[in-house]
Amino acid sequence: MADGSIGLWTVPLAVLGGAIRVSTPFLFVSLGECITERSGRINLGLEGTLVMGAMSAYGISYLTGSPWLGVFAAGITGALLGALHAGICSLPRVNDVAVGIALMLFGTGLAFYLGKPLIEPTAPRLPAIDFGWWSDIPQLRAALRVNVLFLIGIALAPILYWAFRTTRWGLLIRTAGESSDAARAMGHSVLLIRLRATMVGGFLAGIGGSFLSLFYPGSWNEGLSSGQGITAVALVIFARWDPLLCLWASLAFGGAAALGPALQSVGVTSGYHLFNAAPYILTLAIMIITCSPKRTLTGAPAELSITR
Amino acid sequence: MTSEAADSAEAVGAVAPAADPGFLQRHGGTIEYVLIPGAALAGALLVFGIFVMLFGKNPLDLYFYMYYGAFGTWFSWQNTLTRAAPLILTALCTALPAQLGMVVIGGEGALLIGALSATSAALLLQGMPPLVVQIAMVIAGVIGGGLWIMLAGALRQYRGVNETISSLLLVYIALAILNHLVEGMMRDPASLNKPSTREIGAANMIGSIPGTDVHWGLVFGLIAAIAAYILIYHTVFGFAARVAGGNIRAAKIVGLGVSKLILTICFLAGGAAGLAGMVEVAAVQGRTNANLAAGYGFTGILVAFLARQNPLAIIPVAILLGGISASGGLLQRRLGLPDASVLVLQGIIFVFVLASDALYGRIRFLKGKP
């Protein structure tokens, strides 16, 4: 085996690298959506939030020279969009699924509008930590160049899992999601709980977007996200609203999404577009396997309109 | 959502004083359905005006150019109507399942599959008389798009998979299939920069309505919308669909075949969007390529919601939104606004229209409804 040429091993390595790199936006969006859905509301607009987050992170990073400020700005943008979603949904008779679709279109449109001047310039990107220093194989080293956001995401999943079970606000969110009457009887405002949950969800989704523009692929353009946001929303459903399962599902998705580019790099180009669609096909397949028309899904918050 | 709004409007009507006969009592509801979306539209335009003002543009210029680019001249009217044609058809893709209480947002995918099927039919039948080819294209487009959305409906009915998410995932899968075929099996070797299929041939194009530059797709759209209206409001099938949409348990108790309803409605919905794809191929592009993913499917969702899922109301709303997108080019040239400004405006309109749902049955002077 010649130096640097590892043949077909490139594919699993790239899939591993993809699982680490590509999964981060999935992870953040799905954890954010998990919080929102546990409070009894679904925000389909996270696709728009993701794109807005990517755009604002890139813009702020370019203007201030600090990518971390960009990440923060993306989170704030996401939280604002979340507040908009929650605000409209708190009006009587307004359907949260439809508002999500509206914000998906609004968010992407606004990001394209404001992001027009950002396509040319290059913004400072987020640094990576080199976990592959011990290896001589460049592909492995590339796969193990890990971004801090990924580590934060990995840490966040068990923290959320723990918080949902044991903390006061975790219990409040779950109460609002299982029975808004019970939450109201305890003297809490369901709308306020859902507003906060949607804002936190938007914050995380915005950060997921900042990863897209500031680390991988690491630039701003209008084709940056193609359905990662909506895939992540679907991912929450088959992760059964469990933050730990969201983590595993995101990793699986990242790997699936990396399959197309990985196969292309070893010369398999014929099914490139089909392999790129792997995450969507995988989502659909898993939803078909795990859903059932006869019962509601285990773990589904009872107030959630989408599980009916 | 629509049925909920109607229910509460009736409840409000019941407690309103009966001693207010006449015009408002008979037409209050109808006026409401025009007035509230109209106000939402005006509010959205106002906010969009403020938005462009922040970028140093004069909002009055904006409104003028929007009007001028959409409806100001015969040329802009033709541009508007040309864009309205696919919007009517893709809006039906959301509006028809909405009668059953389903939220389908995958019109874009059905459009792409319809376009691919129609193109394949035309390429297979090269040399046949144009009318035969055109009819085959319509059939292929409708069946292709119809089966695509029927898949989402079947997954909902038999596997409990949420149709909103599955139909959107199917958009991305449809786009991948299109790109795969257009860059592979179906690629015209002569299309270098923009991978495309071979052309369907000038003779097979459906052409324009005499005396205009507006293609026949507009007529397809009008016929489809009127047919959908008759189907939903004046047939037993449509009545059954609305019963099932209002209360699925009641529908099952009275013995309606809910599966059949869902599959048929989803097929028709997807068929409409597939027809839009056929029209875009046979009247505009002449071939299939990635240009077809121009967002008509997504704007169609907005049209359906703004029309409150009523197939007849879809026609004027589609013309209005066709006008907004037609004026995009003028806004870009005269005001230097990015092409995405049309998307921003559409998003703002959508948000306003949904928020205005809260107003139904709450406007005091319209409470005369029986």
Per-residue pLDDT, averaged over B225-250, amounts to 92
Per-residue pLDDT, averaged over B344-366, amounts to 86
Which of A231-235, A268-272, B202-206, B350-354 is predicted least confidently? A268-272
Per-residue pLDDT, averaged over B127-155, amounts to 96
- Note whether B168 contacts A230, CB cutoff 8 Å: yes
Q: Are A110 and B350 in contact (CB under 8 A)?
A: no
| Summary mean pLDDT of chain B | 89
pLDDT-derived band of residue B82, with 50, 70 and 90 as boundaries? very high
Ordered DSSP codes for A45-96: THHHHHHHHHHHHHHHHHHHS-HHHHHHHHHHHHHHHHHHHHHHHTSTT--H
* Set of chain A residues whose Cβ sits within 8 Å of the Cβ of B44: none
Q: Could you tell me which chain A residue has the CA closest to the CA of B344? A: A109
Q: Could you tell me which chain B residue has the CA closest to the CA of A296? A: B160
Residue A307: pLDDT over 80? no
pLDDT at site B21:
59
Residue B318: pLDDT over 50? yes
* B358 inside 8 A of chain A by CB: yes
Residue B44: pLDDT over 80? yes
Q: Are A183 and A176 in contact (CB under 8 A)?
A: yes
* B173 inside 8 A of chain A by CB: yes
Report phi then psi at A147, rounded to 5. Answer: -90, 150
* B354 inside 8 A of chain A by CB: yes
Q: Which helix (H) or strand (E) holds B354?
A: helix B341-355
Distances (CA, A) of B104 to A111, A184, A227, A284, B351: 25, 33, 16, 15, 18
Please give, rounded to a whole number of angstroms, the shortest distance from the CA of B207 to a CA of chain A.
32
Per-residue pLDDT, averaged over A289-304, amounts to 78
Report phi then psi at B102, rounded to 5. Answer: -100, 145
* B243 inside 8 A of chain A by CB: no
Select from B326, B364, B67, B333 the least CA-distant residue to B214: B326
pLDDT at site B362:
79
Which residue in the set A94, A233, A277 is minimally distant from B355, CB to CB? A94
Q: Which helix (H) or strand (E) holds A128?
A: strand A128-130
- Note whether A93 contacts B5, CB cutoff 8 Å: yes
Distances (CA, A) of A177 to A81, A174, A294: 21, 5, 21
| Summary mean pLDDT of chain A | 88
Per-residue pLDDT, averaged over B174-181, amounts to 94
The SS3 call for residue A38 is helix
* A271 inside 8 A of chain B by CB: yes
pLDDT-derived band of residue B299, with 50, 70 and 90 as boundaries? very high
B116-126, pLDDT tens digit by residue?
Answer: 999 999 999 99
Residue B16: pLDDT over 60? no
Please give, rounded to a whole number of angstroms, the shortest distance from the CA of A141 to a CA of chain B.
31
Among residues 84-113 of chain A, which lie with CB inside 8 Å of chain B? Answer: 84, 88, 91-95, 97-99, 101-103, 105-110, 112-113
- Note whether B173 contacts A226, CB cutoff 8 Å: no
Residue A295: pLDDT over 80? no
Q: Which tops the pLDDT comparison, A261 or B51?
A: B51
Residue B100: pLDDT over 80? yes
pLDDT at site B253:
83
Residue A200: pLDDT over 90? yes
* Set of chain B residues whose Cβ sits within 8 Å of the Cβ of A234: 165, 169
* A260 inside 8 A of chain B by CB: no
How much of chain B exceeds pLDDT 90, in percent?
71
- Note whether B355 contacts A276, CB cutoff 8 Å: no
Distance, CA of B102 to CA of A244 (rounded, Å): 31
Total Cβ atoms within 10 A of residue A168:
8
pLDDT at site A296:
67
How much of chain B exceeds pLDDT 70, in percent?
92
Residue B370: pLDDT over 70? no
Which residue in the set A44, A93, A283 is minimally distant from B8, CB to CB? A93
Please give, rounded to a whole number of angstroms, the shortest distance from the CA of B83 to a CA of chain A.
19
* Set of chain B residues whose Cβ sits within 8 Å of the Cβ of A307: 162
Distance, CA of A121 to CA of B364 (rounded, Å): 54
* Two tokens, residue A142: 């590339």
Give this prediction's pTM.
0.89
pLDDT-derived band of residue B11, with 50, 70 and 90 as boundaries? very low
Select from A302, A308, A254 the least CA-distant residue to A39: A302
pLDDT-derived band of residue A7, with 50, 70 and 90 as boundaries? low
Which of A294-303, B29-38, B196-205 is predicted least confidently? A294-303
pLDDT-derived band of residue A171, with 50, 70 and 90 as boundaries? very high
Per-residue pLDDT, averaged over B249-271, amounts to 91
B65-75, pLDDT tens digit by residue?
Answer: 999 999 999 99
